[in-house]
Amino acid sequence: MIDLLSTAAGAAVVFAATDIDDIVILTLFFVAARTTGRPRPWQIVAGQYLGIGALALASAVVAAGLLVVPDPWTGLLGLLPIALGVRALRASDDDVTPAVVTGTLGVAGVTIANGADNVAVYVPVFRALGAADSAVFLLVFVLLIALWCAGGAWLGGHPRVVRLVERAGHWLVPTIFIGIGVLILVSSGVLGRLVDLPG
């Protein structure tokens, strides 16, 4: 029982440490759902589960030695939120907050891009765990995704947050997505790798 609780606690720490920035993205999605109707709340939840599930599955496959991922190149996924942010910035006007993504796959794509660096944390964890402990980790992840979505929905419905996004969202939301993309590119080291390519 103690081992089970310690494994669950470890899973919670790993999830919280790697997905804390998802709260910001989820909040923006839920604000968009309230103000524009897109994406719908169920699409946000489904996309979050799909995205984190894909990251966990990829990590398990890499941990099992079935696939080798060139880590620095996963940073290129940062281009996705940048492209979404630029598109939303171009589509917005002074009175309308654009929907950066409009469906489940868009939410999943942003979740995967934002969490690509999580694979570097998940892989050694899954390598160190047996099947039973891995199952506990995955169960905790499933529960915490629901908690994260609930937190994002609560923040996305908070009057002050909604007012802020309604007032400045036409530039604020796309700018946050562009910033997330740039952060992914920079922190992954992919920009340095591109600069160092023999030319």
Best CA proximity match to 176, nearest among 85, 77, 78, 112: 85
What is the residue extent of each domain of the chain? 2-191
Cα–Cα distance for residue pair 136/58, rounded to 1 Å: 17
Structure tokens at 12: 């919670």
Please give the pLDDT value at position 107: 92
Can you give the pLDDT of all 199 residues of the chain as single tens digits?
A: 667 788 888 889 888 888 887 888 898 899 888 888 889 999 999 999 999 999 888 888 877 776 555 555 666 777 878 888 888 777 665 555 556 788 999 999 888 888 877 777 788 888 887 778 888 888 999 999 999 999 999 998 888 887 877 777 677 778 888 887 887 777 767 666 666 666 5
Please give the pLDDT value at position 158: 86
**Residue 96 dihedral angles phi and psi, to the nearest 5°:** -120, 130
Cis before 39? omega within 30: yes
Please give the pLDDT value at position 28: 87
Global pTM value = 0.76
User: Integer distance in angstroms from the first to the last C-alpha of the chain?
Assistant: 58
Structure tokens at 42: 């169920």
- Supply the DSSP string of 4-50, one letter for each residue: HHHHHHHHHHHHHHHHTTHHHHHHHHHHHHHHH--S-HHHHHHHHHH
Beta bridge partners of 96: 93
Please give the pLDDT value at position 67: 56
Please give the pLDDT value at position 52: 92
Structure tokens at 145: 């995704």
